Amino acid sequence: MTTEVTETPTAADGPMAVGATAGRRRPTKALVPRSDLPNGPDHGLLAHIVVQDVRPSAPHGYPAKAVVGELIPVVAAIFKDGHDVLAAQAVLRKGTDVVATSALVHLGNDVWSGAVTATEMGGHELIVEAWTDRYATWAHKATVKLAAHQDVEVELAEAQDLLSEWAPGAGAGTGAETSADSPIAHALVALSDEGAHDADRINPALSAAVAHALAGPRLARDLTTAGPVPIWVDRPRAAAGAWYELFPRSFGGLRGAAAQIPRLAQLGFDVLYIPPVHPIGHSFRKGKNNTLTAGPGDPGSPWAIGSEDGGHLAIDPGLGTFEDFDNLVRTATDHGMEVALDIAFQCSPDHPWVKEHPEWFHHRPDGSIAYAENPPKKYQDIYPLNFWPFDEGDRLALWQACEKIFVFWAERGIRIFRVDNPHTKPFAFWEWVLAAVRSEWPDAVFLAEAFTRPKVMARLAEVGFSQSYTYFTWRLGQYGPEGLRAYVEELAHGPLADYMRPNFWPNTPDILSGPLRGGPPSAFALRYVLAATLAPSYGVYSGYELFENEPASPDNEEYLNSEKYEIKHRDLSRPGSLSPLFAAINESRKRHPAFASLRSVRFHGSDNPSIMAYSKRSDDGDDIVLVVVTLDPYAIQESVLHIDLDALGLAPDCLMDVKDELSGETYTWGAHPYVRLDPYLRVAHVFAVNAQARGRA
């Protein structure tokens, strides 16, 4: 990534002016020669100090993502010619207000690192400042010469100039720097004592107190800034949460769904996600198992939106009323949960828009409206919208109508939207509409249901989606343990980590994959543990806890007797379900802030590829969790693990106490413990690591 770099002649000029908080960075531009720069008009077109590859950032100038209260890691490559010592800091701004600053530390190979924290939602800007540290450069040279017993007359004179230069500006601060008993005043007195030994004259100026007083860019003559890099700061729910999906009609409607909330809250879920609640069309309504002919009692697909009862701003009468919807939202709030509503920009043939705005749809050569297709799949009950008609007025009208849908439901208390198939709509539309909604509701969260190509998923994240469905569902089955590990590391540590947040779902109403197809309860248990402990955000679709495992056929991932086309009756409280595991994992997630971190995930060695081990740490390093999972749902697996204690912040030969959050058992482990997992009894250990065990064994 290239960021705009500007060099200023003095620190008094301050940080560079920046553009709007939201939107893209200004294009990179060369510096024009300026007569007031230190080297005069021949200064040249490039800054003296190079600041590049600033992260976090999105590759095409859209905002990177962060959440309130989290540490935002800042990394940049910073270097210049010669041997001068450099210094750098990160500055986070919201508008013209400086929110946070952080000194950057040189990690080696010209890579600098630090972290800042935002305290409120909304658009921010990150600027990286770098400069020649004149004091540190002088101190290094003086220290080396003193140690070599060389003449330091030049260094004594330089120190007097440097410290005197600081003193006149002290009045802008506290004034303590030049008080009679200040370290700088003491150092200046010592420097001027020509009768003293060189070491006695110079050592007070080399003190830690003087170094601290002179830290920062105030004395810089070549302050160079990179940025601004836009960052959008969300509320924490945009990054972490446990989701549960159910169809209200299978529970008697919206009132029945509300009655499930106390149970789901007790299981520790944060978000209740429901499919579209709108009226369902009659024309070409699908029957059970996606048949083309619906029977008299078949309810149709909730994604075939619109009938004589209304469209996207209406509620299906079979589900209830707006009063029932408001009760659902209120009940969720009362139990510490939120409702996520599915937004699907498509229509049944009976949607009011079909008659009122036929220009908003795709048409066949014969003039008829085209239904949706994803060959070989056909969706005769759905008309896709044409988001890019030839007429710009039609386009604007359609986009505004879609924006109104978000606004309508936001006004009814919805702040989380799961968006259906966003990859089939223009990126420009999403950039526009998501920004428009956030301008009124900055706490809005958008989950992209985009099971599509990686670059498309990434672009949707760039233009504004808070979270995205992922390939988690397939990575283990198709690519094995290394495939899953590589994918998680890509999401956690690669460039995607700056702007794409994953939401791991082991199943959805559309997807029954891998070992879940006909698989035993242990397959569901281990997949659940992986999803809920690897990703800060995860979700399950109702019926998962009952091990529903029948595929529609050997060749596709649809469920047999899919709830998309019929009403299901389940006893979700029956004994033997996964509900106790749900409760235990979610309770552990709430107890341990480490689970809310994605960037901290680290994988550990295992002699057996069928056993996976990984850890997470909280931002402050005090909370550590270690998860060990079997990947074999059928057979007992054993392994010796190789724990990277340094990744846990522990000494190399430390013994640590680990407590299993699922069983309550406690062990004392070193770096190479033995584990044995029986999938019919225990698919995983979820350990809390004693953060006090930091000493050596």
Please identify every residue annotated as catalytic.
420, 449
Half-sphere exposure of 526 (CA within 13 A, CB side): 30
Q: Measured between alpha carbons, how far is 185 from 167 in angstroms, rounded to an integer?
A: 9
DSSP letters of 283-314?
Answer: TT---GGG-SS--TT----TTSB-BTTBSTTS
Angle of CA points 97, 100, 102, to nearest 5°:
140
Alpha carbon separation from 210 to 130, 160, 162, 213, 626 (Å, rounded): 20, 13, 11, 5, 43
Q: Which long-range contacts (CB under 8 A, 24 or more apart) does 36-39 make?
A: 36/9, 37/7, 37/9, 38/9, 38/221, 38/222
Distance, in Å, from the CA atom of 275 to the CA atom of 482, rounded to the nearest integer, reads: 34
Closest to 617 in 3D by CA, of 642, 592, 641: 592
Residues ≥6 apart with Cβ < 8 Å to 611: 628, 629, 630, 631, 637, 638, 639, 641, 675, 677
Strand ranges for 270-379 from DSSP E: 271-274, 338-343, 346-347, 372-374, 377-379
- Coil vs helix vs strand at 468: strand
Using CA atoms, how far apart are residues 30 and 597, in angstroms rounded to an integer?
38
- Specify the residue for token string 């969720």: 332
Q: How far apart are CA 234 and CA 268, in angstroms?
A: 22
Place of tokens 């994988």: 603
Annotate 405-432 with three-state secondary structure. HHHHHHCCCCCEEEEECHHHCCHHHHHH
Dihedral angle, C-alpha 139, 144, 148, 152, nearest 10 °: -30
Distance of alpha carbon 290 from alpha carbon 561, whole angstroms: 9
Name the 3-class secondary structure at 613: strand
Asked whether the beta carbons of 247 and 142 are under 8 A apart, the reply is no
Task: State whether residue 215 is helix, strand or coil.
Answer: coil
**Does residue 557 contact residue 513 with C-beta atoms inside 8 Å?**
yes
Output the DSSP codes for 597-610.
-STT-EEEEESSTT
Per-residue CA distances from 183 to 171, 186, 188, 212, 475 (Å)? 16, 5, 9, 10, 60
Tokens of 126: 């990150």
In whole angstroms, give the CA distance from residue 407 to residue 438: 10
Residue type, 431: E
Contacts of 677 (CB under 8 A, 6+ apart): 611, 628, 629, 630, 636, 637, 638, 683, 684, 685
H helices of 85-169, in order, are 134-147, 153-166
